[in-house]
Structure 1
Amino acid sequence: MIADVESVFQKHIKDFSFKSAMERTVTKISHTGSNFKRYEIELEKESSGTKALLQLLGPVFTKLKSGGVLIVDELNVALHPLVSQELIKLFSNPSTNPGRAQLIFTTHDTSMLTAGLLRRDQIWFVEKDREGSTNLYALSSIKIRKSDNFEKGYIEGRFGAIPMFGLEVMAYQKIGETAGDI
């Protein structure tokens, strides 16, 4: 039956075969090893960091060239912190950003606060209060010295926007009680 259907297609499409139509394209990344020997690795076997970077590069280079805004949620996911920093540097340098593009990103990578990449007015915090409302504010709105270690201050909770841990004992008891109702 497959051969019959294939022959029908071949009458209308020159050089058609199900085998070639169903072949899978394999994308490989070339790596340079010792003595400049090149090794190819299938994309699906690459690390999640390499895959994440490759997903970002198209939009990054498009925006750098033509301008506009690129928004990336969780820039640090799967990327090495130095890779994330290099991406930010591309947007900060007029020679690599002739389109004057802007990069807006979220991250939980606190090393971004000490890398010297961002000015205080470029660092914004998002904080959820106990009622569930979200507040957005810039580091520049907080009275600090330029010489302060922003990462240390953030981790110590001086700027807010840190996770709220724990529930009161009564809340745990209520969760336990209602779990039996499910």
Structure 2
Amino acid sequence: TTVIDELDSSLHPTLLRDFVSLFADPDTNPKGAQLIFSTHDVTLMTRTSPMEAVLERDQVWFVEKDSEGDSQLIAAMEYSPRANENLGRNYLNGVYVPLPNPSFHQLVAQLMKEGADING
């Protein structure tokens, strides 16, 4: 078992897909080594064709932080996704876990406005 935090931080998305795919291929992983990693790259679970996602729905887990900062691990399968569901698109649309609220843009705009009000 190999565990890597933020696997996508130093890899081009194409190389990331190729690297993760090595673990799913019996020719390149004949002994069934396991890869556990965190990433913010949704392309690994995004389908642009029926067979194109690198990760299957039973291989995807989401992490959600509560108001106290504690993390909860949630299997994508808990949401009962269809076999051909586009997990990446749905994740970005807030189907599985809530989207950041307020958004980063809203937060920065509010801070800029408050700074302008203070500096008059």
TM-score bin (small chain): 0.7 to 0.9
Measure how far apart 1:113 and its partner are.
Answer: 1.1
Cα deviation 1:67-108 (Å, max 9, x = unaligned):
xx1111111112111100111111111111123211111100
Aligned to 1:117: 54
2:31 alignment counterpart: 99
1:85 is matched with which residue?
A: 17
Q: 1:102 to 1:156 in 2, by over 3 A?
A: same
What is the TM-score when the length of structure 2 is the normalising length? 0.74
- Runs of 4 or more consecutive aligned structure 1 residues displaced over 3 Å after TM superposition: 161-168
**2:49 maps to what in 1?**
none
**Which residue does 1:149 correspond to in 2?**
86
Structure 1: distance between partners of 2:7 and 2:25: 19
Separation (CA, whole Å) in 2 of partners of 1:126 and 1:107: 11
* Alpha-carbon distance in 2 for matches of 1:157, 1:151: 10
Contact 2:17 2:44 survives alignment (8 Å)? yes
Q: Which has the larger radius of gyration?
A: 1
Instruction: Determine the structure 1 residue equivalent to 2:2.
Output: 70
Q: Give unmatched runs, 5+ long, in structure 2.
A: 47-51, 116-120
Residues paired across the two proteins, number: 102
Which structure 1 residue ranges, 5 or more long, are not aligned? Answer: 1-68, 177-182
User: Equivalent pairs: percent with the same residue?
Assistant: 40
SS at match of 1:77: helix
C-alpha separation in 2, matches of 1:70 and 1:102: 6
CA distance in 2, matches of 1:161, 1:113: 18
